[in-house]
Structure 1
């Protein structure tokens, strides 16, 4: 995320790094930690990877079953 924040890594490059739900969760947690829960990057990630986000949210109890 540091390279993305410094605009060294592009959005497309960041998305290419996300290959599985575990990768998504790691990036999502890192964005939340470094940029805050109001970051638009979280919404962009959720939009880009809706299935990964659904699993992430369910595991963390963010959505009702």
Structure 2
């Protein structure tokens, strides 16, 4: 994605979309704890989870809900 660390990307997208960690987790098909760990830099996403996040962001951009960073 961008040049920001993944944790900051997740926080920025979540903030821009006014989603809780739990709501984002549900949208991505991961647990709340997973999103929380990503944001707090406790873990890094798997390649599959990272692709899901990127696809989620692309979809939101196409829907006009998320601006390009």
User: Above 0.5 in TM-score?
Assistant: no
Higher relative CO (Cα under 8 Å, sequence separation at least 6) belongs to 2
Higher-Rg member (1/2): 1
* More helix by percentage: 1
